[in-house]
Amino acid sequence: MTLTMYGIKNCDTIKKARRWLEEQGVAYQFHDYRADGLTERQLRGFVEQLGWQPLLNTRGTTWRKLDEAERNACDNAEAAIALMLAQPAIVKRPLLDDGRGHALLGFSADGYQQFISEVGV
């Protein structure tokens, strides 16, 4: 089994997470939201696993650039999915997925260590 990390390659947190995986010798594929795209099916799967609120990065630059009406309209799963598909940079990252129904959002060394142990990589 190979893990897939979803994100944007120039994100500092992605760089830290990738470095950590490589230092641990953990095989993974990288999927760049911007370069490789994000399908509605993929996103709906992530929303089902993790919820739309955690996936929506309301602390980043992309969110802050939205006008108030756009931010206020994003108050349910369908609106959030539409926004995330239109602007993939607004999806919180990194998202680490084992392809078998287990996913982890964000990065911390301890969290990654626990996730890798649990999924048996």
Catalytic residues: 11
Residue 86, sorted as left (phi over 0), alpha (psi -120 to 50) or beta, turns out to be alpha
65: CB partners within 8 A, 6+ apart: none
DSSP strand pairing (103-105 vs 28-32): unpaired
- CB-based contact 3:29 (threshold 8 Å): yes
Handedness of CA 52, 55, 59, 64 (dihedral sign): negative
